[in-house]
Structure 1
């Protein structure tokens, strides 16, 4: 149920339980599973910082998507 533009705009993945992860949550999940990167997940994925992490990721994703559209990549 995700459009092609949605996929191009933000990272999408499913976890081991089949739950859909989107955006910053994908990055945090990858950091949790990457040796030596768990500290990034702890820093950016904690309850106090997570809303800011998601907001910052979404704004960066919007800029990157717009840049790719201007360059004719989508």
Structure 2
């Protein structure tokens, strides 16, 4: 009987053309090697599948600007919420999710992430990384 692959608990979409994004995701992949091998988490390059999240209302440029992910139930996560979900999955990084994802800190975390993402997006555009 063929092996059935379960749907990942988290599928993260990111822009490999951004050196900062690519380095950050590669670091997480190394930390999550067993979860990736087991298919519990998946990291996908949006440049290879530019319309992948169009049905969720996310454009290619949206995903180049901020991390996007879908959870096992198909819910869309964006920006800081993706980082928090990845931290929750990463051994030894759950504390980051608790610190930055708690109800008091979360609005500030989202604000800071969005401002950093805006700056990074503008930098990548100036460098022609599309």
What is the TM-score normalised by the length of structure 1? 0.97
Aligned residue in 1 for 2:27: none
2:78 to 19, 22, 30: 22
Which of structure 1's runs of 4+ aligned residues deviate more than 3 A?
Answer: none
Greater percentage in strand: 2
Aligned equivalents of 1:54 and 1:34: distance in 2? 20
Aligned equivalents of 2:70 and 2:58: distance in 1? 13
Q: Counterpart of 1:2 in 2: which secondary structure?
A: coil
Aligned residue in 2 for 1:47: 103
Unaligned runs of 5+ in 1: none
* Offset of residue 3 of structure 1: 1.3
Alignment of 1:1-74 (within 5 A): 1-74=57-130
Aligned equivalents of 2:123 and 2:78: distance in 1? 20
Q: Counterpart of 1:17 in 2: which secondary structure?
A: coil
Query: For each residue in 1:5-63, what CA deviation from the matched residue of structure 2 results, as whole angstroms up to 9, or x when unmatched?
Result: 10100000011211100000000000001110000000000000000000000000000
What is the TM-score normalised by the length of structure 2? 0.56
